[in-house]
């Protein structure tokens, strides 16, 4: 009788450890799938997107967004930097393939039409004259919101679609910045 009690106790303990191991493996696989294919956290290292995003902000990027659709003007996008694909950058889509973009006399023009000052731009933004630049198909013209302090398509050219990682959707840290990215 003692022997059967002891074996039952070992079986119960082994079952608990086996259940825990299975749960941990399932959680790790789910986390890997979610991070690799759906949502990925990113860290903002520079002031190039102020006042939308600040250095030290941590954001969630929707990796699935552009598998189901194309980036649109105004989207905030994380991508591999064209001059060094081992680095990630974040900028706003200003123009899409087929558009012509330029700045003259501190006014941004898309397809020859002056663009109203966007609400997300900080006060005092000054555009240096550039362009016109014709954006090739499957490419995007990217600019930081802090346009006076941003290395963007004005410096390194248009962004090829295949370098896009996903759409920035949410600031989750620090707590006083939590919210959707507009």
Using left for φ > 0, alpha for ψ between -120 and 50, and beta otherwise, residue 23 falls in: alpha
**105 shares a domain with 25:** no
For residue 32, the model assigns a pLDDT of 59
For residue 2, the model assigns a pLDDT of 47
**30 shares a domain with 50:** no
**68 shares a domain with 30:** no
**176 shares a domain with 110:** yes
Residue 115 near residue 108 (C-beta atoms within 8 A):
yes
Which residues make Cβ contacts (< 8 Å) with residue 163, sequence separation at least 6?
79, 80, 81, 82, 85
For residue 6, the model assigns a pLDDT of 46
CATH number at residue 54: 2.10.109.10
Beta-strand runs (E) in the chain: 39-43, 58-62, 76-80, 88-96, 100-104, 107-110, 113-114, 130-134, 139-143, 159-160, 164-173, 179-180
**78 shares a domain with 6:** no
Look at the chain and report how many structural domains it folds into.
2
Catalytic residues: 48, 91
**62 shares a domain with 100:** yes
The model's pTM: 0.79
- The helix/strand/coil state of 87 is coil
Range(s) of the domain holding residue 3: 1-39
Q: How far is Cα 166 from Cα 112, in angstroms, rounded to an integer?
A: 29
Residue 95 near residue 73 (C-beta atoms within 8 A):
yes
For residue 55, the model assigns a pLDDT of 95
Mean pLDDT (10-residue bins), the chain, 182 residues: 48 69 62 59 91 93 89 96 94 97 92 89 82 96 91 95 94 86 85
**49 shares a domain with 1:** no
């Amino acid at each position: 009788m003692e022997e059967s009690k002891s074996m039952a106790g070992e079986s119960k303990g082994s079952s608990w450890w086996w259940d825990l191991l299975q749960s941990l493996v399932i959680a790790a696989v789910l986390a890997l799938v979610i991070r690799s294919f759906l949502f990925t956290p990113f860290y903002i290292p520079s002031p190039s997107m102020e006042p939308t995003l600040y250095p030290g902000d941590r954001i969630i990027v929707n990796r699935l967004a552009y598998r189901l659709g194309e980036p649109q003007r105004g989207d905030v996008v994380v991508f591999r930097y064209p001059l060094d694909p081992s680095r990630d950058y974040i900028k706003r889509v200003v123009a899409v393939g087929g558009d012509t973009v330029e700045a003259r006399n501190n006014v941004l023009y898309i397809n020859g039409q002056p663009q109203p000052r966007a609400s997300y731009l900080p006060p005092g933004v000054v555009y240096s004259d550039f362009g016109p630049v014709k954006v090739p198909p499957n490419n995007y013209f990217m600019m930081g919101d802090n346009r006076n302090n941003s290395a963007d398509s004005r410096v390194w050219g248009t962004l090829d679609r295949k370098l896009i990682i996903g759409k920035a959707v949410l600031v989750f840290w620090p707590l006083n910045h939590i919210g959707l990215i507009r």
